[in-house]
Amino acid sequence: MENPHLLCSKMVLTFMADADVTIETGIDTDIWDINGPHLFHYHYQAGPIVSAFAHTGELSIPVAVSQAVNLNFPCEEDQQVTGNGIFRTFRFRVKAGEHRTVDLFAAVYTGLDGGKPADRAYALCQSAEEQGFQTLFAAHADAWDKIWRGSAIELIGDDNAALALNASLYHLHSIAPRHADNLSVPARGLSGQTYKGAVFWDSEIFLFPVFVHTEPELAKTLLRYRIATLPGALRKAAEYGYRGAFYPWESQEGGAEGCTDYNVTDVFTHRPVRTYFRDKQIHISGDIAYALWRYFKITGDDSLLKEGGAEVILQCARFFLSRAHRRADSGAAELLDVIGPDEYHERVNNNAFTNRMAAFCMENALTIADMYRESDFFKALLEKLTYQADLELLRDLAPKLKKMHPEGAVVEQFDGYFKLEDASLETVRSRVLDEREYWGTNHGVAAHTQVIKQADVIAMMALFPGDFSDETVERNWRYYEPRTEHGSSLSACMYALMACRFRRPDLAWEHFVKTASIDLTGGGKHWAGEIYIGGTHPAANGGAWMIAALGFAGLSVENGEITLTPCLPAQIQTLRFPVTVRGKRVTLTVTQDGWTADG
């Protein structure tokens, strides 16, 4: 954790009998990804420190790995280069009861880390060998201790839940991009290849809340990634004939769209199925604008807005201007042919979540314009973007965008949703012929029913709590939860949060346990058609923290002010966790009797 380029391990071997021992180690270059061999053009360097060099297949990025071995005993060593790597073999003789210690050090650099990755890998490996395992382990432990002091949650009352919650945070911290200033987190972490390392809306909606409350600088890093990839979003919008910024659904290098047109395979015909995630999930641009604004409101730090965040929000608002339709007979504005968070229903009109997120984005653009009206940086930005006419359009259009949420009613997820077959989840599940089949697209078992993949209306209510009364939230929760398959690991946390909103932590508890334990129990969906997804679940990891801190503890931070409205389930006696607000760390303790803040 102290140095992400370095890997260290120690083995202490105890022998139960006299033996001739062989230890084999080295650097394996026979690495494959879902598209085939990952590395090409190998060459190797033998010696006390062995090294391997190669280039990735797609972008020809240099990769360099060096390895050193420390042994506390004499032995014979052989080195061998094969087509699959460079390997070393150690042979020695032991007697029963003897111990042998083996320390391994490896360093990894790529061309993305700057010049001369081979030299840097070798030098770091040499330095690690000289420092020794214990020194490096101490630095690693200190780095983790710092992270835990700022984020660990003490949950007293259910040991399994406490383990699952902090295991979720462990997974999230392990892949957080602390080594950079403008990277984000892949949707299935670093261990699942299906999404090709792409960044989804997960980062802004499910990971950002954790970091903005515990490590604001890391939250800033996630958002700088979106600022840095704005050119890719502008290109994507232009490709579809729109203005402004249409961010990729699966963002890859430079903001390139990684989502394909055919990313599900029919398990019966074995043919790829046309899906519209990349084309129609336009709420992604609003999600990013939402997180940029939330960063400012929570931290009070407007530097991100001035360093490109305001431009992102304006360009996302411009995209929604370009994408919206006006009705000739009424002048009302609509967003047609979209996909909301519920991906089982594609190409719908006026998805409630999408419309609300788009309206918020457009309103934010106007708020920023008012806030920085006299600012030189904003005047220059308006001139750069030739945006003055768009501001006038926004003032006219934003209030007219169709609202799907009359107070007190069950919100219709999209136009015509209530007319779909109101089949129970059990009924729809009984229609499944193959456990791997995809429930969405035109012929999926859920597509023509009210059964949905994941929180959609409920997610909107979680993100815009001021729009709805507790009674309205409960009415919608009770309508949509039984109709939700929870086919995404992103779903359960939203239902848990909203159950706390109407003071039913007992209903939230099951969703919390499911979310927090997903990478301990192997839960969650692992197939999309014939494609195995795999990987960890960063969004669920973030969702577990959200349920504990924002749901059970009822944490809210606005303009630097902390408020709590606790809603602890019976299983929790005490919940204690740190938050960082305006540079100050505060430890919050919530019990069944109330809460305190120290720091």
187-192 long-range contacts, CB within 8 A, separation 24+? 187/250, 187/538, 187/539, 188/533, 188/534, 188/535, 188/536, 188/537, 188/538, 189/535, 189/536, 189/537, 189/538, 190/536, 191/534, 191/535, 191/536, 192/533, 192/534, 192/535, 192/536
Tokens found for residue 39: 């590395």
Q: Write phi, then psi, for 437 (nearest 5 degrees).
A: -70, 145
Q: According to CATH, what is the number of the domain 6-149?
A: 2.70.98.40
Query: Using CA atoms, how far apart are residues 349 and 29, in angstroms rounded to an integer?
Result: 49
Kindly report the number of other CB atoms within 10 A of residue 533's CB atom.
17
State residue 554's pLDDT score: 97
**pLDDT per residue over 212-243, tens digit each?**
999 999 999 999 999 999 999 999 999 999 99
Give the pLDDT band of residue 34 (cuts 50, 70, 90). confident
State residue 32's pLDDT score: 87
* Amino acid making up residue 255: G
Give the pLDDT band of residue 529 (cuts 50, 70, 90). low
Average predicted confidence (pLDDT) for the chain: 95
Nearest Cα neighbor of 109 from 68, 69, 62 is 62
Q: Which residue has the tokens 């180690």?
A: 25
Query: Does the pLDDT of residue 386 top 80, yes or no?
Result: yes
Query: Using CA atoms, how far apart are residues 118 and 124, in angstroms rounded to an integer?
Result: 10
**pLDDT per residue over 317-365, tens digit each?**
999 999 999 999 988 999 999 999 999 999 999 999 999 999 999 999 9
Q: Are 43 and 51 in contact (CB under 8 A)?
A: no
CATH architecture of residue range(s) 152-598: Alpha/alpha barrel (1.50)
State residue 443's pLDDT score: 86
Query: Using CA atoms, how far apart are residues 66 and 51, in angstroms rounded to an integer?
Result: 4
Q: Write phi, then psi, for 195 (nearest 5 degrees).
A: -90, 10
Give the pLDDT band of residue 129 (cuts 50, 70, 90). very high
Nearest Cα neighbor of 165 from 492, 534, 546 is 546
Nearest Cα neighbor of 185 from 168, 171, 167 is 171
Catalytically active residues are 343
End-to-end CA distance of the chain: 27
Query: Does the pLDDT of residue 486 top 80, yes or no?
Result: yes
State residue 190's pLDDT score: 83
Give the pLDDT band of residue 412 (cuts 50, 70, 90). very high
Q: Which residue has the tokens 């380029």?
A: 5
Q: Which helix (H) or strand (E) holds 40?
A: strand 39-45
* pTM, full prediction: 0.94
Reported in sequence order, the residue ranges of 438-545 that DSSP labels E, i.e. its strands, are 527-528, 531-532
Give the pLDDT band of residue 543 (cuts 50, 70, 90). very high
State residue 528's pLDDT score: 66
State residue 282's pLDDT score: 98
Q: Are 275 and 339 in contact (CB under 8 A)?
A: no
State residue 524's pLDDT score: 65
Q: Which residue has the tokens 């679940």?
A: 537
Kindly report the number of other CB atoms within 10 A of residue 75's CB atom.
15
Q: Which residue has the tokens 């009924």?
A: 427
Burial class (CB in 10 A: 0-12, 13-18, 19+), 554: middle
Nearest Cα neighbor of 273 from 451, 489, 528 is 528
Query: Using CA atoms, how far apart are residues 530 and 453, in angstroms rounded to an integer?
Result: 18
Query: Using CA atoms, how far apart are residues 167 and 541, in angstroms rounded to an integer?
Result: 8
Query: Using CA atoms, how far apart are residues 536 and 42, in angstroms rounded to an integer?
Result: 30
Spell out the domain ranges in the chain: 6-149, 152-598
Q: What percent of the chain has pLDDT over 70?
A: 98
DSSP codes, 57-99: TTT--EEEEEEEEEESS--EEEEEEETTEEEEEEEEEE-TT-E
- The answer to whether the 6-149 and 152-598 domains have the same CATH topology is no
Query: Does the pLDDT of residue 116 top 70, yes or no?
Result: yes
User: Is beta strand 531-532 parallel, antiparallel or unpaired with respect to 527-528?
Assistant: antiparallel
